[in-house]
Structure 1
Amino acid sequence: MGINISHGTNRYGQIYRSGSAIAALGHQLAYVLKPSDWRTVQHLFDGKRMSDDELIGPKEARKIADVLRKAASHPKMSADGALDAIEFANAAALAADSGEPWSWS
């Protein structure tokens, strides 16, 4: 199952990833983040299927962006994982800067 995330950089203004790719990134995030930071992003990256569309308010999107940037700079994060974390962080920050909800569907 694929997931479209708003405020991305593809021609539709989205990020598109498979659920398994998001869960794989989640494994890396869980490994490099402090437990409190992991809890901030866990509901998106823990590999559990979302029941419906997920709308994340701008304030929460800003927190998520900060946590993902922190993870991306961790020395134990893989290069590919860091790139993905930055891409998600940029999308979350764009949603926050625009005052719009960050949508996962």
Structure 2
Amino acid sequence: MADPIDDKTQTELEAAAFRRLLEHLRSRTDVQNIDLMNLAGFCRNCLSNWYQDAAKDKGIAIEKMAAREIVYGMPYADWQAKYQKEASPEQQKAFAESQKTHKH
């Protein structure tokens, strides 16, 4: 079993894992948000909302689009123009089904 980790180190490890997740998602522009939602129940927008919520909990105001830029690594409108595709009927159906059990 691993040695106990102090709170500071745990926060540093969690931050490093989050940065790596962002790098991974930024490199996988082929994976659409609807695919993430259908498979995992969260997407890049969810991450940006959670980031914004965490900032708010610390008394820091971050606008929605600023939080999205942090997650996407570019302005959201740029990401949409470059990488976002129209969802297929199958993706839309799977999304509608997944929303029945998704907790917002």
Please, what TM-score do these two structures have when normalized by structure 1?
0.29
Higher percent of residues as strand? 1
In our comparison, the structure showing a higher alpha carbon Rg is: 2
Structure with higher RCO (Cα < 8 A, 6+ apart): 1
Higher percent of residues as helix? 2
Please, what TM-score do these two structures have when normalized by structure 2?
0.30
